[in-house]
């Protein structure tokens, strides 16, 4: 009889805890992304925050103000400038296309293709000579779909700005209560896993910092260097292309996906000197990427570089941009726990 009561108490306790956990997650669902980004930023920059606090006479409030202003300068202002640049350059792009700048090769060889070749040749030259007006007229039936797409993207942009504000706010909160949160997290980890709790938490922190330095810092450096090369070479819309390069590097597509078409375009229009300069610059950027990313990741956490890259790509495909950190952290922790478990095998000498 006593055993049945204990079993019922355990079952009801489990159901109650599960219900409360689900309700908490449901309530916090709109804030999870912003809080997660804030936590990642604070974990990555916590050593810098402590150094700034020591420099500012150990006054935490001043250090938090410095970090908050830094986050605004690094995240908010560039995004606002980028949005303004997109709006401005979109109108410039339309003017650029409508004034006959869209020029291409003659492609006389299309006439040699039987049956369909002459038709493709006429359509191609009609498209080039009218600066895309023929194509735009054919896309008129799809304007409604395009409008809905723009509305959806505006909605995503609104959510992004909200999450950005939540990220700044939660970062300030985590900086202020960071010591208490660290103690509670360690106590919880030991409570859940007495032998591996602290090690798991430490490994997760190291993985986050390694990815932040090895992927984010490298991607931003590539983007800025690529933007400098595009500006020097005279490629139009270099501001937008710089942001595209940064995003491409973050999702592990690399900078060449933008730089190679730019090099081809420069040679195409006859700017061979600028094209050669951008080609050499692109080779230097790719070389820097290989060595800098590997060095920063291996410096932050001693794990196989292939495991980290698989975690980055898999996390990105599964969870979006936040997966850049979730994927490598999960794989790194799992990898270390499996190795520790294997090493405890009494049959291994």
pLDDT reported for residue 105: 56
| CB 224, CB 216: distance < 8 Å | no
Lowest-pLDDT range of 60-74, 105-119, 167-181, 245-259: 105-119
Here the tokens at position 94 are 């339309």
The answer to whether 309 and 252 have CB atoms below 8 angstroms apart is yes
Mean pLDDT of 274-290: 87
Distance in angstroms (rounded) separating the CA atoms of residues 101 and 131: 7
Amino acid 11: pLDDT? 83
> Residue 338's CB: how many other CB atoms inside 10 A?
10
**Mean pLDDT throughout 124-153?**
53
Residue 138 confidence (pLDDT): 54
169 and 211, same structural domain? Answer: no
Residues 260 and 138 in one domain: no
Q: How would residue 147 be classed by pLDDT, with cut points 50, 70 and 90?
A: very low
Residue 291 domain-assigned? yes
* 167 in the same domain as 220: no
Q: What does the pLDDT read at residue 280?
A: 92
**Number of domains, the chain:** 2
CA separation for the pair 215, 36 (Å, rounded) = 18
284 and 158, same domain (yes or no) = no
Q: Residue 258: give the domain boundaries.
A: 194-342
Single residue among 148, 176, 204 that ends a domain in this structure:
176
What confidence score (pLDDT) does residue 123 get?
67
* Pair 134, 126: CB distance under 8 Å: yes
In a domain, 25, yes or no: no
Q: Answer yes or no: is pLDDT of 204 > 90.
A: no
Single residue among 143, 176, 209 that ends a domain in this structure: 176
Quote the DSSP letter at residue 132: T
Residues 240 and 310 in one domain: yes
Per-residue pLDDT, averaged over 64-69, amounts to: 93
Which tens digits make up the pLDDT trace of 97-128?
Answer: 555 554 555 566 666 666 666 776 776 666 66
């Amino acid at each position: 009889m006593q055993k049945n009561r204990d079993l019922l108490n355990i079952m009801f306790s489990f159901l109650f805890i599960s219900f409360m956990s689900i309700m908490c997650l449901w309530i916090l669902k709109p804030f999870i992304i912003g809080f997660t980004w804030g936590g990642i930023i604070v974990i990555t920059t916590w050593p810098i925050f402590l150094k700034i606090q020591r420099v500012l006479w150990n006054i935490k409030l001043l250090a938090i103000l410095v970090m908050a202003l830094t986050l605004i300068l690094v995240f908010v202002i560039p995004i606002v400038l980028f949005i303004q640049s997109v709006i401005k350059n979109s109108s410039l792009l339309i003017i650029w296309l409508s004034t006959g700048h869209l020029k291409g090769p003659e492609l006389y060889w299309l006439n040699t293709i039987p049956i369909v070749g002459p038709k493709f040749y006429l359509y191609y030259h009609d498209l080039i000579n009218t600066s895309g007006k023929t194509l735009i007229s054919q896309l008129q039936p799809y304007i409604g779909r395009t409008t809905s797409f723009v509305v959806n993207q505006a909605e995503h942009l609104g959510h992004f700005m909200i999450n950005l504000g939540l990220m700044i706010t939660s970062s300030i909160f985590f900086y202020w209560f960071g010591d208490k949160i660290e103690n509670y997290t360690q106590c919880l980890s030991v409570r859940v896993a007495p032998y591996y709790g602290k090690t798991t938490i430490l490994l997760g922190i190291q993985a986050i910092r390694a990815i932040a330095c090895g992927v984010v810092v490298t991607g931003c450096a590539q983007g800025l260097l690529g933007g400098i090369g595009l500006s020097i070479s005279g490629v139009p819309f270099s501001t937008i292309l710089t942001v595209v390069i940064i995003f491409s590097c973050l999702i592990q597509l690399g900078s060449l996906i933008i730089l190679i078409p730019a090099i081809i375009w420069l040679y195409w229009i006859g700017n061979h000197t600028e094209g050669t300069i951008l080609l050499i610059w692109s080779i230097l950027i790719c070389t820097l990427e290989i060595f800098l990313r590997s060095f920063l990741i291996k410096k932050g956490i001693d794990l196989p570089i292939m495991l980290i890259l698989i975690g980055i790509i898999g996390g990105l495909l599964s969870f979006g941009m936040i997966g850049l950190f979730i994927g490598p952290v999960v794989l790194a922790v799992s990898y270390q726990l499996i190795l520790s478990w294997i090493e405890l095998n009494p049959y291994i000498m």
